[in-house]
Amino acid sequence: MTKKLLALAMMLILTGCFEKEAEKHVWRLQSQAVATSIDFIELGKFAENVALMSNGRLQISVHPGGELTNGADIFPAVSDGRIEMGNGWPNWWSAKHPAWAVMNAGPFDFMNLDASMMFFLAGKGTDMANELANPEGVVWRPAWWPGMEFGLISREPITGLADLRGKKVRIGPGLPSEVLAEASGSYAIPLVPSEIEPALRSGDIDAVEWTTASGAWDLGLQDIGRHAIVPAVWQPSVLSDFLINKAAYDRLTPDLQAILESAIKSYTLTTTFKAKLKDFEALQKFQNSDITIRRWSKEDIESWRKATDSVITRYKLADDYTRRLLDIKKDFKDEYNEYYRYFGAYD
């Protein structure tokens, strides 16, 4: 009798273990990207990898911009549990805390992809971001790096900052838009992708900033505007991020958490480098098109620098966390620059 009871108990224990191991999690991931962009296409592969590695126990459906929610609402949607994951840009979360506006590489911040990648993947960057995200019920991770954005595309020529005074410019919220307004006297309007093309075509906006060379080309801006001024001084090493609902993350078993983290890192490297190669190709397309490409003058760059210093000073005075974040980023940039003063490119 005792042996039978023991065998029955063992069967119940094993059955419980198998049921727990077989538990499936179905997540939805809302991106800000359009469906045709390389970062969204790679999100599909990311979800496939997660499903494969987890043997179907973690399944993630990915949704292009606007399908479930959009823009700045992605953060609260993840926080509230309406969706399990989001993918966007840190400066879009600045309504939650002003420091999100400077989490990304703003003007005269990290000037290289590798500096920003080191800071967030191996330095203090991710921990700093999670100081803001975790209390909101969100786990933060770096997603990928578009790097330096393209610049402005317009229907009428823009030869410098003076031509922007009084103009309406589509640009991301937070630090980029504040520095643009300070430097040029223009009006910053943070439209989402689906709103950009019709607004530029109708004249509701005068110029558009939209990610990198390949992002701008894929959005079809070259079919409307014939003038560009580069680069995007306001975002020299832009970072995209992942937002994960903390309760949903904590419900995952340790192996599923490890699978998710591994797939995120794979997505990070693959998307960053594939997208940059696409930027090389897109620049050639712009150069071979009817677009006139100009660069900011040295005088304009100095005006950008003065405007940036003014805006950053205001951020530092806003609260202790933002000041600490900016100081930590500056210290890392100084270390980076000092090292590459000796070991940087020499040709």
Residue 89 carries which DSSP code?
A: -
Amino acid at 128: M
pLDDT of residue 203: 95
Cα–Cα dist 24/230, whole Å: 47
Q: In angstroms, what CA-CA distances link 240 with 89, 287, 326? A: 5, 27, 18
pLDDT of residue 173: 86
Among 60, 86, 50, 112, CA closest to 261? 50
Domains detected in the chain: 20-145+239-279 (3.40.190.170), 152-236+290-314 (3.40.190.10)
Q: In angstroms, what CA-CA distances link 216 with 127, 198, 220? A: 32, 14, 7
pLDDT of residue 151: 97
Cis peptide preceding 135, ω within 30 of 0: no
pLDDT of residue 9: 52
pLDDT of residue 2: 56
| Ranges of the chain with pLDDT below 70 | 1-22
Question: How many CA atoms within 13 Å lie on the side-chain side of 31?
Answer: 22
Q: Count other C-beta atoms under 10 Å from residue 142's C-beta.
A: 22
pLDDT of residue 17: 52
DSSP 212-253: SHHHHHHTTGGGT--EEEE--TT-TTEEEEEEEEHHHHHHS-
pLDDT of residue 324: 98
Q: Are 223 and 158 in contact (CB under 8 A)?
A: no
Tens-place pLDDT, residues 11-44: 555 555 554 556 999 999 999 999 999 999 999 9
